[in-house]
Amino acid sequence: MRRRWWLTLTLLSVSWFVFAGGATAAENLPWKTGTARVKITPDEPLWLSGYGGRDRPAEGTLHDLWVKVLALEDSGGHRAVVVTSDLLGFPKGMAERICAKLAEQCGLERADVMLTSSHSHTSPVLEDALYDIYPLDDEQKARIVAYSRALEQKIVATVAEALANLAPATLWAGEGLAEFAVNRRNNREKEVPELRERGVALAGPVDHAVPVLAVRSPEGRLRAVLFGYACHATTLSFYQWSGDYPGFAQLALEEAHPGAVAMFHAGCGADQNPIPRRTVELCEQYGRMLADAVDDVLSQPMRNVPPRLKTAFEPIDLAYEEQPGREELQAVAAKSGYQARWAARLLEKLDRGEAFPASYPYPIQVWKLGDQQLWIVLGGEVVVDYALRFKSTYGRTTWVTGYSNDVMAYIPSRRVWEEGGYESGAFAVYGRPALRWTSEIEDRIAACVARLESRLR
């Protein structure tokens, strides 16, 4: 009897040791990462996106535009990809087609695909995005559609290439600081240089943090660096293709770290501008400041990110509180400019008997890297209050990215909604049939983020 008891105890002990050893071995498996990139500078004249005052297509290139991909695989085999782009933002239809193809060809779930942009205002107009802003003829629209569909194919192929390049790696996280972003709602642009020279503090909330994700080989060589910043890419307003200051920052980092891929994603900078601006010299200066902030982080100890990845994605319906009626649209259509084109197009919909949707499907994505690194990813042009709120809720090292997965409108906080002004609406810019979001927009978004964070936790 004693011998049988001893044998049973021994087998249980061995089984537990093997199980524990297997778990430890799995835990010690590294990340696998892969990168790929593709040039997306248009080969023929297309309209540049972002500014409504433009009256002709692009006329040259300051520096090339890129789509870059970072593929991740954790120790359990969970794969996901971050796509960065020198674009104003992905329109809904384009994002949906890309993700559908990635599900079919690469087996990626919707939560596993993050489509980000730099929001450069010297990038091309894309299909079904901001058409009302420009006096586009049929030929130009056809060129835009052809470019956009070819771009979709390039992105899918580049993601597949990054996944094929997966190799063991380590991930490291940190945050830097760059102080050139200015709250454009609370400061007069022409007064900012003098105020700074006098040492006067500028008004309004800002988020000067620079989130940094470093990808290194097992030997410690830098393979890729992914970084963000909450500021409009609106230093330049001319007629040449460029990635604006994020483009210059990526160029500087890749020059400083040969062989590494530098990737930028825009934060919650809908109410933030680089000031002063409008010259290439200033644009390059801001790019260098941002690159220096990233290099400062890379030169210091960073947080190791264990090879665990959780992802979640949920669209929520954001309701419109006010929408234009026929008489109001007729009055606007009688005027000139992009608002008149917006009103005329909506009137045509009404004439065809089409009803305006009462809400918009807003995309929210949350990733958790390792045990602690939370990454909140929001669609649209998100004001800085969201980043400050989520960092207060989830910790100062929380990363909050805007302009991702679908850029459909400005996303005001409750404060901005109550104050009014451009960032509280500007629906005509994006062609939405609305005049105002409902007052609970911030709380609705925050509740979804909390729900997804809880699910990952």
Which pLDDT does position 161 carry in this prediction? 98
pLDDT of residue 180: 96
Report the pLDDT value the prediction gives residue 17, as an integer from 0 to 100. 27
For 232, other C-beta atoms within 10 Å of its C-beta total 25
**Closest C-alpha to 431, from 445, 417, 410:** 410
Quick one: pLDDT at residue 28? 61
Report whether 264 contacts 118 (CB < 8 A): yes
**Predicted pLDDT at 51:** 87
> In which element (H, E) is residue 393 found?
helix 385-394
Cα–Cα distance measured from residue 214 to residue 176, given in angstroms and rounded to the nearest whole number: 13
- Residues 305, 171: contact at Cβ < 8 Å? yes
Cβ neighbours around 278 below 10 Å, total: 14
Determine if the peptide bond prior to 276 is cis (ω within 30°): yes
In DSSP terms, 115 is beta-bridged to 83
- Asked if 165 contacts 54 with a C-beta cutoff of 8 angstroms, the reply is no
The residue ranges of the chain whose pLDDT is under 50 are 1-26
β-pair partners for 85: 67
Q: What is the pLDDT of residue 29?
A: 73
Whether this prediction's pTM lies above 0.85 is answered by yes
Type of residue found at 6: W
Residue 246: both structure tokens together? 């994020």
Distance CA(68)–CA(70), nearest Å, equals 7
129 touches 151 (CB < 8 A): no
Which pLDDT belongs to residue 406?
97
pLDDT per residue over 18-69, tens digit each? 223 333 444 567 999 999 999 999 999 999 998 888 889 999 999 999 999 9
- Report CA-CA distances (Å) from 187 to 51, 82, 276: 20, 34, 12
pLDDT tens column, 167-208: 999 999 999 999 999 999 999 999 999 999 899 999 999 999
Angle of helix 338-351 versus helix 326-333 axis, rounded to 10: 140
Residue 18: the pLDDT is 29
Q: Which of 361, 362, 372 is nearest to 399 (CA)?
A: 372
Q: Beta strand pairing status for 261-266 and 79-85? A: unpaired
Beta strands (DSSP E) in 133-289 are 167-177, 181-183, 209-216, 222-229, 261-266, 272-274
